[in-house]
């Protein structure tokens, strides 16, 4: 009987200890969620809104893929222009690129953008040893430290530092997972599970369990920039072989605004590697009608909502996007339509990503919502793609007297607009008859009307208003477990 009492008592004590441990872990987990969402950004120059600078009219650049006479046509200008800018630099080159690697499935074939950019930078350094060149990138290119990409080694051997952005201090875009990762899952690294297949392509090196577990945090330096002392390019395009056929847009700017771009890039190099970037002191812009402003992270969202809320009858809102899911943006588009603003949106179908089939999220249910809630006043067209994506992140508000543009790396999603990933976009305001306004207007007219080719098709062609897709979209938005 005494033995039975002792066993019963021991079980109760043990059970209480387990319960207490689980309760403590639960509190730590919940605290980790709250901290991960609201933690301070790792540098004061993140979530940056610069001054508005008078500049020369920017150069509008496009990569356009379309069908003509039964064949796929690729008119790509962004990296041709980028290589020219690199070649003309004399003092400074800063490159910040999200995807910068040549991994894809064996048997596929893509233009060698990774090697081309790498070679251009190395050639420049070899021929101009005094020039300062810095490359900033995202750890996804090494699958979070699983290996050192050969082109990064080549850059370093040429005397070009490669700064891999530190993502851990960024706020959590997937807080339910990230809190569990910090508490438990990151310790799986010590199991040393190696030899796992590269998730981005079969020609890549094997990776580790760390690669997969870290990737699920959904953090990124998503910026796409090339800066020299003469000119800067703010783009939606990556120097990534498997992305080389994507449709994209970019703007090249000159003048004092380059100082602001360098300031935002130094924020990343300082908190990631304690590295100061070279500076350029511009004083003369040679412009008197066009203004531009650097926006990063959450400040992009603030400006975007401001412009949409101020659009009025007589304006046309043009949008070209890979992803549209930010709820406040959707609300402002519906409100603008109610005010009599003409809203025209070109979206990727979200059916393909680097050779993997996708289910149409988020754009299919969002397009259905915009059209149904606006009673058909909002027009949506799908970009017709094959093995590529329609990858721009572009807003163009075309008014009677002025045009307003936001363009850069940020999709119109929670993850890209709410201080979670590192992003850079430009705000540009110009007279309606300025060259940049005309060029962007002609771009939208071309793809909307299928001028000299097949670019887009109407909403009904690829619509999907199925209940399961809308429910999955809402569930992912509610739990913050998606990449958008």
Out of 273, 300, 315, a domain closes at: 273
Domain count, the chain: 2
> Quick check: is 241 in a domain?
yes
360 and 316, same structural domain? yes
Per-residue pLDDT reduced to its tens digit, 40-68: 999 999 999 999 999 999 999 999 999 99
402 and 376, same structural domain? yes
Per-residue pLDDT reduced to its tens digit, 237-257: 999 999 999 999 999 999 999
pLDDT of residue 481: 78
pLDDT of residue 400: 97
pLDDT of residue 16: 79
364 and 222, same structural domain? no
354 and 264, same structural domain? no
Out of 273, 300, 320, a domain closes at: 273
CA torsion 118→119→120→122, rounded to 10°? 90
Per-residue pLDDT reduced to its tens digit, 254-293: 999 999 999 999 999 999 999 999 878 776 667 789 999 9
> Quick check: is 3 in a domain?
no
Distance (Å, whole) CA 188 – CA 68: 51
Per-residue pLDDT reduced to its tens digit, 402-412: 999 999 999 99
268 and 295, same structural domain? no
Distance (Å, whole) CA 162 – CA 117: 14
pLDDT at 4 exceeding the cut of 70: no
Could you tell me the pLDDT band of residue 31, with boundaries at 50, 70 and 90?
A: very high
Residue 251, domain CATH: 3.30.870.10
pLDDT of residue 247: 99
Query: H or E segment at 209?
Result: helix 209-215
418 is in which domain, residue-wise?
290-479
353 and 208, same structural domain? no
Mean of all residue pLDDT scores within the chain: 94
Could you tell me the pLDDT band of residue 125, with boundaries at 50, 70 and 90?
A: very high
> Quick check: is 163 in a domain?
yes
pLDDT of residue 476: 84
> Quick check: is 313 in a domain?
yes
Per-residue pLDDT reduced to its tens digit, 193-241: 888 999 999 999 999 999 999 999 999 999 999 999 999 999 999 999 9
Out of 273, 301, 336, a domain closes at: 273
337 and 452, same structural domain? yes
Phi and psi at 465, nearest 5°, equal: -105, 30
405 and 472, same structural domain? yes
pLDDT of residue 32: 96
Phi/psi region, residue 47 (left: phi>0; alpha: psi -120 to 50; beta: rest), is: left
pLDDT at 190 exceeding the cut of 70: no
pLDDT of residue 21: 87
> Quick check: is 106 in a domain?
yes
Q: What is the mean pLDDT of residues 435-456?
A: 99
454 and 351, same structural domain? yes
240 and 104, same structural domain? yes
pLDDT of residue 187: 83
pLDDT of residue 473: 83
Instruction: Quote the Cα angle for 432-435-436, to 5°.
Output: 80
Query: H or E segment at 227?
Result: strand 224-228
pLDDT at 339 exceeding the cut of 50: yes
**Which residue reads 């101009």 in tokens?**
128
The sign of the torsion formed by the CA atoms of 470, 176, 38, 482 equals: negative
Q: What is the mean pLDDT of residues 423-438?
A: 98
pLDDT at 463 exceeding the cut of 60: yes
- Which string of b and e fits 305-333 if b means at least 16 CB within 10 Å? bebbeebeeebbbbbbbbbbbbebbbebb
> Quick check: is 47 in a domain?
no
pLDDT at 483 exceeding the cut of 90: no
- Tally Cβ neighbours within 10 Å of residue 129: 9
Q: What percent of the chain has pLDDT over 70?
A: 95
Q: What is the mean pLDDT of residues 99-118?
A: 96
> Quick check: is 150 in a domain?
yes
Could you tell me the pLDDT band of residue 5, with boundaries at 50, 70 and 90?
A: very low
Q: What is the mean pLDDT of residues 305-326?
A: 99
Could you tell me the pLDDT band of residue 317, with boundaries at 50, 70 and 90?
A: very high
316 and 200, same structural domain? no
320 and 237, same structural domain? no
Distance (Å, whole) CA 254 – CA 282: 10
- Tally Cβ neighbours within 10 Å of residue 210: 22
pLDDT of residue 9: 43
> Quick check: is 232 in a domain?
yes
Q: List CB contacts of 186: < 8 A, sequence separation 6 or more.
A: 213, 214
Per-residue pLDDT reduced to its tens digit, 6-16: 545 455 555 77
């Amino acid at each position: 009987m005494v033995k039975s009492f002792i066993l019963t008592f021991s079980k109760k004590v043990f059970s209480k200890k387990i319960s207490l441990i689980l309760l403590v872990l639960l509190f730590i987990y919940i605290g980790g969620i709250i901290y991960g969402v609201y933690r301070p950004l790792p540098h004061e120059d993140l979530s940056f809104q610069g001054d508005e600078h008078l500049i020369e009219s920017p150069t509008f650049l496009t990569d356009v893929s379309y069908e003509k006479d039964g064949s796929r046509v690729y008119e790509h200008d962004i990296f041709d222009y980028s290589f020219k800018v690199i070649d003309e630099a004399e003092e400074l080159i800063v490159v910040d690129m999200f995807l910068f690697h040549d991994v894809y499935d064996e048997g596929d074939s893509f233009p060698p953008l990774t090697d081309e950019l790498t070679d251009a930078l190395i050639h420049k350094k070899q021929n101009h040893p005094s020039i300062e060149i810095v490359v900033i990138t995202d750890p996804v290119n090494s699958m979070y430290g699983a290996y050192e990409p050969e082109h990064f080694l080549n850059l370093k051997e040429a005397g070009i530092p490669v700064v891999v952005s530190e993502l851990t201090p960024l706020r959590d875009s997937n807080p339910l997972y990230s809190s569990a990762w910090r508490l438990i899952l990151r310790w799986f690294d010590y199991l040393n599970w190696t030899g796992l297949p590269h998730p981005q392509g079969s020609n890549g090196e094997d990776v580790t369990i760390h690669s997969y577990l870290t990737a699920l945090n959904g953090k990124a330096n998503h910026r796409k920039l090339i800066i020299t002392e003469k000119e800067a390019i703010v783009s939606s395009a990556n120097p990534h072989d498997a992305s080389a056929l994507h449709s994209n847009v970019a703007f090249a700017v000159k003048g004092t605004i380059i100082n602001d771009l360098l300031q935002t890039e130094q924020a990343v190099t300082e908190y990631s590697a304690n590295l100061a970037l070279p500076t350029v002191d511009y004083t003369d812009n040679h412009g008197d009608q066009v203004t531009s402003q650097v926006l990063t992270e959450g400040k992009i969202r603030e400006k975007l909502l401001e412009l949409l809320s101020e659009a009025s009858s007589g304006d046309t809102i043009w949008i070209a996007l890979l992803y549209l899911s930010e709820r406040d943006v959707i609300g402002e588009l519906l409100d603008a339509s109610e005010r009599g603003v003409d809203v025209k949106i070109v979206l990727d179908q979200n059916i393909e990503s680097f050779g993997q089939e996708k289910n149409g999220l988020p754009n299919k249910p969002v397009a259905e919502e915009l059209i149904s809630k606006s009673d058909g006043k909002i027009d949506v067209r799908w970009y017709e793609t094959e093995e590529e994506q329609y990858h721009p992140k572009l807003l163009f508000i075309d008014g009677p007297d002025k045009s307003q543009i936001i363009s850069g790396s940020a999709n119109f999603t929670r993850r890209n607009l709410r201080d979670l990933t590192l992003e850079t976009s430009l705000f540009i305001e110009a007279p309606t008859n300025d060259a940049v306004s005309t060029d962007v207007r002609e771009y939208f007219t071309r793809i909307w009307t299928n001028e000299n080719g097949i670019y887009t098709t109407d909403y009904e062609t690829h619509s999907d208003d199925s209940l399961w897709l809308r429910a999955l979209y809402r569930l992912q938005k509610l739990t913050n477990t998606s990449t958008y």
